[in-house]
Structure 1
């Protein structure tokens, strides 16, 4: 991955050059440097569901005070994940400690 020296945007390859689609800046590609870059091509990005059935409740993660929309209980486990663009806030995922209801909250 290459970033533009002019504006900081991610650059893309076009032939023998790196091209910034934001500001149009270009720079020549260096085959030795390109070979040293790590790529995600061919990598398995979905390892499937994780079996948490034998994990103790205390090991699952932190809890917070939030009201469950299903049963009204006031405690839930939470996890925060970056599922949208990097310049947007994280999404909060909750699981009620009483009934197991799962829900999420996004900043709007």
Structure 2
């Protein structure tokens, strides 16, 4: 990922140059620098954790949230940073009754 030296916006690769979509600044691509960049390609996805044998008191915090599947009013919750660091975290919820999972993003 490359960021614009002029305005700080994320740049896109086009025909051998990096181009800023915000201000139009262009910069030549450097294959050595790009090889050192960290990407999400080839990274393993996190594995699903089986919580069926875990006691309810060991599951973590709960909150008052209405399950969209069964209407239950309690859910376990967990916060994760899945977007850019300058954006808010996403709250993942799991119903305490039917174990339906959903997420809530701040907009």
TM surpasses 0.5: yes
Assess, with a 3 A threshold, how the Cα gap between structure 1 residues 87 and 93 changes in structure 2: closer, same or farther: same
Assess, with a 3 A threshold, how the Cα gap between structure 1 residues 16 and 42 changes in structure 2: closer, same or farther: same
Larger Cα Rg: Structure 1 or Structure 2? 1
Assess, with a 3 A threshold, how the Cα gap between structure 1 residues 63 and 71 changes in structure 2: closer, same or farther: closer
CA contact (8 A) 1:68 1:101 kept: no
Distance (Å, rounded) in 2 between the aligned partners of 1:42 and 1:67:
36
TM-score between both structures, scaled by the size of structure 1:
0.63
RMSD (Å), alpha carbons: 3.3
TM-score between both structures, scaled by the size of structure 2:
0.63
Q: Which residue of 1 aligns with 2:55?
A: 56
Number of matched pairs? 103
Distance (Å, rounded) in 2 between the aligned partners of 1:2 and 1:90:
23
Distance (Å, rounded) in 1 between the aligned partners of 2:72 and 2:29:
58
